[in-house]
Amino acid sequence: MPKILVDADACPVVRIVEEVAADFALPVILLCDTNHVLTSDYSEVRVIGAGADAVDFALVNLCQRGDVVVTQDYGVAAMALGKGAYGIHQSGRLYTQDNIDRLLMERHMAKKARMSKAKHHLKGPAKRTKEDDERFRRAFVELLQKTEKELEEHGC
C-alpha cells in the first residue's frame, strides 16, 4: 500500500492532507525537524534531528515507488520522482518528469539572483487564501485517484 510522505516543516496543508488521506484510507507520515515538532491524531510523526536537509534526506530514504510526496522543495520532489513516487507542491502543482527540470533551473536562477552583488528585493510568497487550500485539495484528490487507478492497473 502506498503512503503519503509530507515534508511538514512549515507546511500549510498538513490538515488537508490528513483529511483527504483518511477518505482514501492511506497512511501519512509527517516528517519535521526539532524546530517544528508536530502532533497528529491521524498521521505518524517522525521528528528528525536538526541539520541542513536532514528532513529532506529522511523523506527520500523512506520514499518508495507509488508513494505520494507533499513538498515545496523541488530537489526533494526530483529525488522522489526518480524513485517512482508522485509529487505535489502545497500550491497543488504536480511535479512530473515533464516539469521538474524546468523547476530546478528556475530555483537555481532565483538563487543566483539572490546571491548576486546587485540588490534584488524579491517578494516572499503571498498570504495563503481559502482558494489556495481548495486548489490544493482538488489537485491532491485527483492525484490520489490517479495513483489508485495506476496501482490497480499494475496489480499493486
Residue 47, pLDDT score = 94
Assess if residue 140 is contained within a domain: yes
Q: How many domains does the chain have?
A: 1
Give the C-alpha separation, 68 to 147, whole Å: 8
Residues 6+ apart with CB under 8 A from 66: 2, 84, 85, 86, 147, 150, 151, 156
Residue 42 has pLDDT above 70, yes or no: yes
Q: CATH code at 100?
A: 3.40.50
Give the C-alpha separation, 115 to 25, whole Å: 44
Assess if residue 156 is contained within a domain: no
DSSP β-ladder status, 44-48 and 28-33: parallel
Residue 71 has pLDDT above 90, yes or no: yes
Residue 90 has pLDDT above 70, yes or no: yes
Residue 84, pLDDT score = 93
Give the C-alpha separation, 55 to 38, whole Å: 13
Instruction: Supply the mean pLDDT for the chain.
Output: 87
Residue of higher predicted confidence among 89 and 117: 89
Residue 50, pLDDT score = 72
